[in-house]
Structure 1
Amino acid sequence: MPPALKAVTTGSAAFTPDSFFSAWTDERQKDPVPNNDLRSAIIRAFELKPDDAYVYHAIASVTLQQVQTAVAQGGDRGLHAWYRDEKGEILEAPPQSDIDAYTSMFNPAIASSKSFSNFVSNAKKQSLRSTIGSHLASLRQIPSTISIPRSKIYVNPYLDFWRWSCHNLEWCGPNESTADLKNSHHVLPIFMHHFGCVCPSYESIEVMKALSRKRRIIDMGSGNGYWSYMLRRAGLDIAAVDNMQSLWRTMWIDDTIVEDGMKYLTRNNSGKDDVLLLVYPIVSLDFTKQILAKYAGDTICIAGTQNANGYTAFKDITVNEYFEKEMNNFEKMVQIPLPSFAGKDEAIYVFERKASTS
């Protein structure tokens, strides 16, 4: 596939990233998918033709119409079977109030630490919400020195679509059993193609802003550039690097450095003065291991799976386990949950090189 060097959406003559965000009004933020009609919402948002028949290839190959049909089926045929008991029986769907509480953890207008604490402390004993809260609380780590300011003007269309998906797909967040899930939903390829594999949160961007300390961030494996675009909107200096072997319907930036990651690091002093960001790093070809070994800088950010399902970064070991075993010259500073799509358990980590004792 030839590299996509323009910020475009295939099938849209009018799309530009800045105009997309400008058109993302308060009304759209509150109700991104009116009447649960995702097909029409995507066509309207990206200014596609009414008879759009693009095939989205990801975990499955689907069209917008096929996805809309799946959305209309609700939880039939186990489409919303995210939670099971010890016997494997499907549990009752979480109440919408608990889903509200989960999505509120990522609301930039609310202090993230407060909304997280409320989600955990207000859960009924032995409820599904309590298992989710316990799981997330056991993994969350953020130093008290990082203060996240609240924002009522933050715009993130992906977050709004994700929030809708939580309510529609009856998803209240990951717990310990999420690592065993093999199923996903037809909606995910749409989100992946238009926005990316995982949604950046306001908190994650502010954390990176604080810990980057005005250094350049290398977005290694930048994909369609949504994370790079969002980080730039926050005022950060980003070098987006990708070999462009994957196909995306939407590209958010027009300056992707189309190059093998190892070659890029070799040409750029192994990133010694830069922050390294890996968003949903692939497991195959030992890509993550090679990039981490090559990097000579002091700060590594990884956005991906935080359980042991082997979906990102490493097949048989978690990110925490890998750093403890193979990169103990780095110290974990941050691990905070990201807005996880139904059936996923995602977080952003930040590791910093330990000070030399010599």
Structure 2
Amino acid sequence: MTLHQARARTKGASLFEPDAFFDTWSKDQKSLPEKDDFKSSIICTFNLPHNDSYVYHATASVTLSQVQEAIDHRGKSGLHAWYSDEEGKPLSPPPLADILAYTTIFAPNTATPKLLTAFAANAKKGSIRSKVASHLQAQRVFPPNMTIPKSKTHVNPYYDFWCWSCQNLEWVGPEEETANIKTSHHILPIFMHHFGCVVPSYESLEVVRQSAGKRVVVEIGSGNGYWTYMLRRMGVSVQAVDNLQSEYRTLWIGDTLIKDGEKYLDDGKGCKNTVLLLVYPIVSLEFTSKILDTYKGDTIYVAGTQTRNGYTAFKDRTIDEYMKAEKADYEKTVQIPLPSFPGKDEALYVFERPNT
């Protein structure tokens, strides 16, 4: 028997209704951290008890109080050591103006390509910003026939929280050496539980919306459903599938199909007329290769790392390296940077099989 998750919820919350949550956020009644009080911000945002003691299990096991303590330590003990010189010594943090320039690249009311160009053009020679700009531009692949309209009404609480985290953690984006970073920050498990593993930028959501057209998007391994929820708000038809073996404090949708992803695709004879979405696919159990082998459609989206750090999909190669070697009938048509948490380097890939 196939089960559906009963409802959206946040464990321990007095009230959680996603549409109302977004309506409040869109009215500029945001609960972003004031004076970097992240704990109070999350408690207020998700209607949690003042003495909340929930343990967030993810890259580490932490409570909100422990996370706040780490935030209060600022950059001590290497907590903000994202960038190093050739000898491995930590570099001075990037200026706030550079951090703001980086986060604004992903704002819905801006043109990402133009801001990427400006981000590079206005970077001081030899600065961290210049290295980040070169890295992001070198990785970007975008079809010339696709245009992303600006939006003044798009709402994305995860993006807003991420912008704050970049300022607080002194992060100006990934560069080549980011692939070697093996640590993160205590904030990440909180983001993962309440929102997801990676921020869906407005540009990435628009890419999915436009390229999917009227086809159903099947998100395998949908987690807490934030990407599905965001796409649905933009009018995209999405079927979320997850075995829900991982625990998330917040679940954004109430109709996740609780089922093994490979079996779901197999039962649908490969779901040929749908498009496939994988957000932060796990490395273990040959999950990614099995899903890609079972899917018989023509369009694949993957949101994950764009380095060989082994965080998503495959242990020792990137998703596009795998597709080129193992799925040569697909072409990479899009690779765009996503808002990456400090120490991460993430992108949305689109692979399409040309019509024959």
Secondary structure of the structure 1 residue equivalent to 2:236 = coil
Secondary structure of the structure 1 residue equivalent to 2:270 = helix
2:317 counterpart letter in structure 1: I
Distance between the aligned counterparts of 1:284 and 1:128, measured in 2? Answer: 33
**Counterpart for residue 9 of structure 2:** 8
Distance between the aligned counterparts of 1:260 and 1:133, measured in 2? Answer: 39
**Counterpart for residue 301 of structure 1:** 301
Structure 1's consecutive aligned runs of 4 or more residues displaced over 2 angstroms after TM superposition are: 2-5, 25-29
**Shift of residue 27, structure 1, vs aligned partner:** 3.8
Task: Give yes or no for contact 1:4–1:244 (8 Å, CA) kept in 2.
Answer: no
Calculate the aligned-residue CA RMSD, in Å: 1.2
Unaligned segments of structure 2, at least 5 residues: none
Distance between the aligned counterparts of 1:112 and 1:88, measured in 2? Answer: 32
**Residue-by-residue CA offset, 1:273-294 (whole Å, 9 max, x unaligned):** 0000000000000000000011
Task: Give yes or no for contact 1:4–1:251 (8 Å, CA) kept in 2.
Answer: no
**Residue-by-residue CA offset, 1:104-139 (whole Å, 9 max, x unaligned):** 110111111111111112111111111101111111
**Counterpart for residue 241 of structure 1:** 241
Distance between the aligned counterparts of 1:60 and 1:28, measured in 2? Answer: 31
**Counterpart for residue 351 of structure 1:** 351
Secondary structure of the structure 1 residue equivalent to 2:132 = helix
- 1:300-319 to structure 2, matched below 5 A, reads 300-319=300-319
Deviates more, 1:9-18 or 1:188-197: 9-18
Unaligned segments of structure 1, at least 5 residues: none
Q: Does 1:39 align with 2:46?
A: no
1:93 counterpart letter in structure 2: P
- 1:1-358 to structure 2, matched below 5 A, reads 4-29=5-30, 32-356=32-356
**Residue-by-residue CA offset, 1:253-280 (whole Å, 9 max, x unaligned):** 0000000011100121211000000000
2:220 counterpart letter in structure 1: M
Deviates more, 1:165-174 or 1:312-321: 312-321
Secondary structure of the structure 2 residue equivalent to 1:24 = helix
**Shift of residue 3, structure 1, vs aligned partner:** 8.0
Secondary structure of the structure 2 residue equivalent to 1:35 = coil
**Residue-by-residue CA offset, 1:157-200 (whole Å, 9 max, x unaligned):** 00000000000000000000000001100000000000000010
**Shift of residue 26, structure 1, vs aligned partner:** 5.0
**Shift of residue 28, structure 1, vs aligned partner:** 4.5
Distance between the aligned counterparts of 1:42 and 1:326, measured in 2? Answer: 43
Secondary structure of the structure 2 residue equivalent to 1:49 = coil
Task: Give yes or no for contact 2:83–2:90 (8 Å, CA) kept in 1.
Answer: yes
**Shift of residue 355, structure 1, vs aligned partner:** 3.2
TM-score, normalised via structure 2 length: 0.97
1:262 counterpart letter in structure 2: E
Secondary structure of the structure 1 residue equivalent to 2:250 = coil
TM-score, normalised via structure 1 length: 0.97
Identity of aligned residues (%): 56
**Shift of residue 354, structure 1, vs aligned partner:** 2.6
Task: Give yes or no for contact 1:94–1:170 (8 Å, CA) kept in 2.
Answer: yes
**Residue-by-residue CA offset, 1:79-125 (whole Å, 9 max, x unaligned):** 00000111110011000000011001101111111111111121111
Distance between the aligned counterparts of 2:206 and 2:308, measured in 1? Answer: 27
Distance between the aligned counterparts of 2:62 and 2:250, measured in 1? Answer: 16
**Shift of residue 320, structure 1, vs aligned partner:** 1.6
Task: Give yes or no for contact 1:106–1:201 (8 Å, CA) kept in 2.
Answer: yes
The count of corresponding residues between Structure 1 and Structure 2 is: 354
**Residue-by-residue CA offset, 1:2-61 (whole Å, 9 max, x unaligned):** 9853200000121111111111145455x7211111100000000011111100000111
